[in-house]
Chain A
């Protein structure tokens, strides 16, 4: 299994909702990433988890809350988001060689 699986693929939520994005990989990679990508822009790093511990938080607002329950799973909890948070959220994992594997992304729309 050489996949990074993200669910859901599409999510529409209101500004008062609480939802979560999920990312899963079974390749034994110990570094996992959340990126945010707006249309026609490159991805922006949000969070890095290394060995299930948060190692980088790129000054992301607290309405985004990451969680790494185990070495295969990465969640991004969403609460009280703003319309400008609408974007494609990409998860990636990194092999020990440095090679990266990206998921298909979760496209989020905040109304």
Chain B
């Protein structure tokens, strides 16, 4: 079974700061997902990665398959980025469910 570790668990930063959230996993994967969840809300998929780097607006996600590690970066952070960010991995190529990390609770203060 894959173990997914995220760090930090909690992060408070000032508006405008560069944010990095890390994720490591224990066994090989077919894909890694970065998800965002606002309090009491549903989950939004931010990125799906199997290699390299992806960018969407102020968000950048990278993955190093050899090191079994991924990072999510937020540039020019804003209070609306405050949410829980969850790393989740898919180990198979089929319809298997994800293994989730415990999430990083991010608060961006104005």
Name the contact of A56 in the complex, choosing from B31, B40, B42, B97 (C-beta under 8 A). Answer: B97
Name the contact of A102 in the complex, choosing from B30, B45, B102 (C-beta under 8 A). Answer: B45
Sample (20) of A-B pairs whose CB atoms are under 8 Å apart: A30-B95, A35-B97, A42-B86, A42-B88, A42-B101, A43-B98, A48-B95, A48-B96, A55-B94, A56-B96, A56-B97, A90-B43, A98-B31, A100-B35, A100-B45, A102-B43, A102-B45, A103-B42, A105-B41, A105-B42
- Tell me, rounded to whole Å, the shortest Cβ–Cβ distance linking A71 to chain B: 13
- Of residues 80 through 102 on chain B, the ones whose CB sits less than 8 Å from some CB of chain A are 86, 88, 90, 94-98, 100-102
Name the contact of B48 in the complex, choosing from A30, A45, A100 (C-beta under 8 A). Answer: A100
Cα of A105 to Cα of B35 in the assembled complex, Å = 15
**How many B residues touch A, CB cutoff 8 Å?**
23
Q: A42-B102, A90-B42 are in contact. Are A58 and B90 (CB under 8 A)?
A: no
**Known A43-B43, A100-B33; 16 more pairs at CB < 8 Å:** A42-B86, A42-B100, A42-B103, A43-B98, A43-B100, A45-B97, A48-B95, A56-B97, A90-B42, A94-B95, A102-B35, A102-B42, A102-B43, A102-B45, A105-B41, A105-B43
- Of residues 38 through 55 on chain B, the ones whose CB sits less than 8 Å from some CB of chain A are 40-45, 48
Name the contact of B41 in the complex, choosing from A45, A55, A92, A104 (C-beta under 8 A). Answer: A104
Cα of A90 to Cα of B88 in the assembled complex, Å = 15
The residue in A48, A90, A102 that gathers the most chain B C-beta atoms within 10 A of its C-beta is: A102
Cα of A30 to Cα of B94 in the assembled complex, Å = 11
Name the contact of A101 in the complex, choosing from B30, B45, B86, B88 (C-beta under 8 A). Answer: B45
Name the contact of A50 in the complex, choosing from B88, B94, B100, B102 (C-beta under 8 A). Answer: B94
Are B90 and A98 in touch, CB under 8 angstroms?
yes
- Least CB separation from A105: chain B residue: B42
